[in-house]
Structure 1
Amino acid sequence: MSKNVSKRKAGKLVEYTFEFPQKPEKKTFAQHIYDERDGKFFGRTRKSWLYLFIFYGVYFVVLISLFWLCMACLFATLSEDYPKYQLSDSLIGTNPGLGYRPMPEDIMRGAVVRYRAGNKNEMRYWTSRLDEFLEPYQNPSVLPGGGTNQMSCEFGKLPEPGNVCAFDVDQFGPCSTANRYGYNESKPCIFLKLNRIYGWTPDFYDDIEDLPKTMPADLVQHIRELPEHERKQIWISCNGVFTGDQEAIGSLAYYPSRSIPPYHFPYTNTKGYLSPLVAVQFLNLKMRQNVFVECRAWAKNIIFKGGSRLRMGSVQFSMLIE
């Protein structure tokens, strides 16, 4: 439909024609898929679809090629044997953290080891967690390389290149699988370990006259009684966090000792390496009281910061035997 409009301009009569927009013709569903009148599939001609596929084909080929090139350049700078950034250049830094096992599988439990004495199911939960954690220690064949490169280490006898120190689980004494880690006797064991930092070497408190004033008196006495060649170790101590916890924590026993020997360091990502462990057994923990425990590692280059947040060189958890 059109309409003519006349307008006089500079003494002349000019006529304009306006075309009114018309409603598009309704199409059936089949015509939306393929319209025979203009030969379009889904609103595009064959030629238009061809250009579209060529454009996006080239676009994605170029995009994938650039991504592959970037990843290839990145992996060319990395090694499977050692991290690119180490020690102070890395995000981890040079201060190893301290971890503990068993940890609850459910994060909602929090850092609490809790069970009812005499309840086999609750005890089995924690002991099975320890069985799983200690499996590589008890069965080195599950380690990469089958544990064939493990050797016995001692003071003055470091592992040869390509070898790692074996860890004798029999040294855990009553904190063993056969003894169910003391949980069935209400004398539970907790295993402590340092987090691995590639290339990190501890700086020991080997001078008995230069021990920190904050070091527990019983640990100081223990170090003084050792031969001089055995003083170069990372020391471990545990205590109650609050005054009530210090009274309720009772006596502690450490296996195989309350230290980590120097021949386990540095960590160099050698196959079959096992983190050294210290088992702490609570011999007479006060029953039916949630006892908050803080354990820390002692070395000159291990910075300590306690508390429940942003801890450094320490770990905090609680024990509750009902």
Structure 2
Amino acid sequence: MGLEKRTIKIIVAVVVLVLILSLVGLLLGLLLPQRYVELEVWPRSEEYNWDQPLIQVRGNDPGSWHAWYRRLNEFLKVYETSIPEDPPRAPCSVHNRRDQHLRSDPCDIAMRRWAPCTADEFYGYARGKPCIFLRLANIHYWVPEPYNMTSPLPIPPEMPQHIREAMRHRPAHQYGDFVWVSCGGEFSADKENIGPIQYIPADYPPGFPLSRLHTADRIPYSARNMPDQVPGPLIAVHFENPRRGVVINVECRIWTRDIFYDPKSRVGRARFELHVE
């Protein structure tokens, strides 16, 4: 009888402990900020709103686009360097060549690779053909499962053709894996109005190379809650001829096997509104 009472006490204690731990986990989940893989869009206005981030510009009016030019320069300052990596993770300078700013030869080469999404060309805003920059955030706890042609798992039928071609031309066993990126019109009318877009640098795959991402499998456990010491790589999206006078809803997303696309979620996707007057 004594053994049975002790067994019951142990069971009750275990149940109580599990309930307490579950309650603590629930409270932490409610009180602590949620973390998820975020696809950041730059430039951002001072009153940035994820649901309706509007980028509005009049190409023939410097007053309408200079603020975007300035914000992009502020954002890109952390990438300023005289010796960029190869391939460069971002434009290496925020100084317009009209300012007669001296650059190293490697930096000049890097800037040509990022054209027209550079300070030299005002990131396209002066011509009403703007560039936006994409960067991954909140990846300290994430171990991505990339798509590639060497894996036996199927490629989703909705994957854009430009990503499929990049996977064929840059096989993972030679060039490494990528977190692929695509952008397009969010709704039917937007798909018609968005016009051609180009991923910059144009000679490289439209995505983030895993070798440059500080994901959970590449950093010590103790450092996973700390910001990256090195800013992550960028992708620029150049809108070559968006329809004038209409608001275009743009959606960008990443493609990995472990992140499921959900148009109502913020995980791995970004949206913004583009209005070129």
Per the normalisation by structure 2, the TM-score is 0.68
- Aligned residue in 1 for 2:232: 275
User: What is the CA–CA distance in structure 2 between the aligned matches of 1:166 and 1:217, rounded to whole Å?
Assistant: 24
Q: Give the match's secondary structure for 1:99.
A: strand
Question: Partner letter of residue 96 of structure 1?
Answer: V
1:211 pairs, out of 155, 158, 176, with 155
Structure 1 unaligned residues grouped into runs of 5+: 1-89, 141-149, 155-164
Greater relative contact order: 1 or 2 (C-alpha under 8 angstroms, separation 6 or more)? Answer: 2
Deviations 1:196-250 (A, max 9, x none): 3224232111126721112112322332232442361010000101111001111
1:1-322 equivalent positions in 2, closer than 5 A: 92-93=34-35, 95-107=36-48, 110-139=52-81, 152=85, 167=90, 169=92, 170=110, 171-207=113-149, 210-228=154-172, 229-230=174-175, 232-256=177-201, 257=204, 258-267=206-215, 268=219, 269=226, 272-307=229-264, 310-322=265-277
* Counterpart secondary structure, 2:181: strand
Contact 2:176/2:210, CA 8 A, preserved across alignment: no
Aligned equivalents of 1:179, 1:318: Cα separation in 2: 22
Q: Take 1:262 and 1:110, find their aligned partners in 2: how far apart are those partners? A: 30
Residues in 2 aligned to 1:176 and 1:302: alpha-carbon distance in whole angstroms:
31
Structure 1 position 91, deviation (Å): 5.7
Paired letter, 1:265:
L
Q: Given the superposition, is the C-alpha separation of residues 321 and 194 from structure 1 closer, same or farther in structure 2, using an over 3 Å criterion?
A: same
Assess, with a 3 A threshold, how the Cα gap between structure 1 residues 196 and 96 changes in structure 2: closer, same or farther. same
Greater helix content: 2
**Offset of residue 280 of structure 1:** 0.3
Structure 2, gaps ≥5 residues long? 1-31, 93-109, 220-225
Larger radius of gyration: 1
Q: Is the 8 A contact 2:131 2:238 kept in 1?
A: yes
**Residues 76-104 of structure 1: per-residue CA shift (max 9 Å, x gap):** xxxxxxxxxxxxxx8645x4121100111
What is the percent sequence identity of the aligned residues?
Answer: 28
Distance 1:231 1:298, change over 3 A: farther
Residues 116, 321 of structure 1: 8 Å contact kept:
yes
Deviation at 1:121, TM superposition (A): 1.0
Distance 1:117 1:199 in 2: 41
TM-score for both structures, normalised by structure 1:
0.59
Q: 1:113 to 1:166 in 2, by over 3 A?
A: closer
Give the conservation status (yes or no) of the 8 Å contact 1:237–1:295: yes
Q: Counterpart of 1:186 in structure 2: which amino acid?
A: G
Shift of 1:270: 7.5
SS of equivalent residue, structure 1 residue 179? helix
Classify 1:312/1:166 alpha carbon distance in 2 versus 1 (closer, same or farther; 3 Å): closer
Contact 2:148 2:171 in 1 (8 A): no
Aligned residues: CA RMSD: 2.7
Cα distance in 2 between the residues matched to 1:272 and 1:203 = 24
CA 1:166–1:187 in 2, change beyond 3 Å: closer, same or farther?
A: closer
Q: 1:207 to 1:231 in 2, by over 3 A?
A: farther
What does residue 4 of structure 1 align with? none
Q: Per-residue deviation at 1:168?
A: 5.4
Quick check: 2:140–2:214 contact (8 Å CA) kept in 1? Answer: yes
Quote how far apart the aligned CAs of 1:304 are.
2.1
Aligned length: 211
